[in-house]
């Protein structure tokens, strides 16, 4: 079981330099805990500060190591040539392998704010993924379906193959992930029972397309407290505030032992990677959780 981290990019109104420093501190803690991968997310036209993925990842890589890193990109919102160029640059300045997490983006208002027809996002996603794969392999591409792209080529291209994970939860989208990507990223908003059902759909889809995934991953929003009681109080406080609209069973809070036991359940189902995100926005609590993941890894034997 590999444990990675998706460093939260959204912060309340305030000094953005302080928020950026908090992201840097969390990555330093993740490196100290010897976590296995580093990611940031993707969101646009936001009502509160959100650090954009490509530039902030470039800064965070200075704090990282030679393990994989990458970002989530909502492909319909990006020009595929521009995105391939940014990934080529990021892959050139990092020590490890680049993992591109990608998904459709489910918010119509966000698509409209970026000038994208929300109804066309599935076709745009598949065409973008095709173009980006070809560009990162050093090929020339042209396309007239959604972007007027003629004989485009990028440089630099990564010297190590970029790995593609697709995030999805509907059965048809899970099947798309099995068909088009190296790995699958399950949604963070589900409990373990639903995670098991969706994993079965993914495995069946992989068999249908004769694909062997490199990663079967899920994101968990977590808090690791010094005691189980402390963790439960914090979790309940966030649930009472309507944390991201998640069901309570989707949030994982507990002691080191409890979190390790829950992670082991996902490993037993067949998940290879858990990508964590901090529940708490309080910096000291977030950093403490990341540091305690080192103990969780030890308990899992990794």
Going by the DSSP 8-state scheme, the letter that residue 244 receives in this structure is G
Whole-model pTM: value is 0.96
6 falls within a domain? yes
Three-class DSSP category at 46? coil
Grade residue 277 by pLDDT with cuts at 50, 70 and 90.
very high
CATH assignment of the domain containing 152? 3.20.20.30
| Sign of the torsion angle spanned by Cα atoms 11, 43, 213, 194 | positive
Predicted pLDDT of residue 240: 95
| Residue 197, phi then psi, degrees to nearest 5 | -65, -45
239 falls within a domain? no
Grade residue 74 by pLDDT with cuts at 50, 70 and 90.
very high
Predicted pLDDT of residue 20: 97
Average pLDDT in the 226-241 region? 96
Predicted pLDDT of residue 93: 96
Q: Is residue 30's pLDDT more than 80?
A: yes
299 falls within a domain? no
Taking only the tens place, the pLDDT of each residue in 185-227 is 999 999 999 999 999 999 999 999 999 999 999 999 999 999 9
Instruction: Report the length, in residues, of the chain.
Output: 302
Give the residue ranges of DSSP H helices in the chain: 16-32, 53-60, 80-93, 108-113, 121-136, 171-180, 192-208, 228-240, 256-269, 283-300
Q: Tokens 């999805």 label which residue?
A: 168
93 falls within a domain? yes
**Domains in the chain, number:** 1
Predicted pLDDT of residue 13: 85
155 falls within a domain? yes
Q: How many CB atoms sit inside 10 A of residue 172's CB?
A: 10
70 falls within a domain? yes
- CB of 249 within 8 A of CB of 191? yes
Q: Is residue 302's pLDDT more than 70?
A: no
Grade residue 10 by pLDDT with cuts at 50, 70 and 90.
very high
Which of 285, 271, 88, 279 has its CA nearest to residue 300?
271
Alpha carbon 96 to its chain's center: 16
Q: Is residue 22's pLDDT more than 90?
A: yes
Predicted pLDDT of residue 14: 86
292 falls within a domain? no
Taking only the tens place, the pLDDT of each residue in 47-62 is 899 999 999 999 999 9
Predicted pLDDT of residue 265: 98
Three-class DSSP category at 91? helix
Domain of 94? Answer: 2-220
Which of 51, 45, 148 has its CA nearest to residue 105?
45
């Amino acid at each position: 079981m590999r444990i990675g981290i998706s460093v939260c990019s959204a912060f309340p109104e305030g000094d953005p330099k302080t928020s950026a420093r908090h992201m840097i501190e969390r990555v330093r803690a993740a490196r100290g805990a010897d976590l296995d991968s580093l990611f940031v997310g993707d969101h646009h036209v936001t009502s509160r500060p959100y650090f954009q993925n490509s530039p902030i990842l470039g800064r965070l890589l200075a704090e990282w190591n030679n393990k994989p890193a990458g970002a989530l990109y909502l492909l319909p919102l990006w020009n595929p040539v521009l995105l391939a160029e940014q990934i080529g640059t990021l892959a050139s300045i990092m020590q490890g392998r680049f993992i591109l997490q990608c998904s459709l983006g489910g918010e119509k208002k966000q698509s409209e704010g970026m000038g994208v027809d929300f109804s066309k996002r599935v076709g745009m996603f598949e065409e973008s993924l095709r173009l980006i794969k070809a560009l990162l392999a050093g090929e020339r591409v042209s396309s007239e379906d959604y972007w007027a792209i003629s004989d485009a080529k990028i440089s630099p291209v990564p010297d190590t193959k970029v790995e593609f994970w697709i995030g999805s939860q509907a059965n048809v989208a899970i099947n798309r992930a099995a068909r088009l990507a190296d790995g699958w990223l399950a949604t963070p908003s589900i409990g373990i029972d639903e995670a098991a059902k969706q994993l079965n759909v993914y495995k069946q889809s992989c068999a249908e397309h004769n694909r062997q995934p490199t990663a079967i991953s899920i994101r968990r929003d977590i808090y690791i407290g010094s005691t189980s009681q402390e963790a439960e109080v914090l979790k309940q406080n966030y649930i009472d505030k309507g944390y991201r609209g998640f069901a309570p069973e989707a949030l994982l809070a507990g002691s080191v032992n409890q979190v390790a036991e829950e992670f082991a359940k996902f490993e037993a189902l067949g998940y290879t990677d858990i990508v964590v995100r901090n529940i708490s926005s309080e910096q000291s609590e977030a950093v403490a959780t990341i540091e305690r993941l080192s103990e969780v890894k030890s308990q899992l034997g990794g």
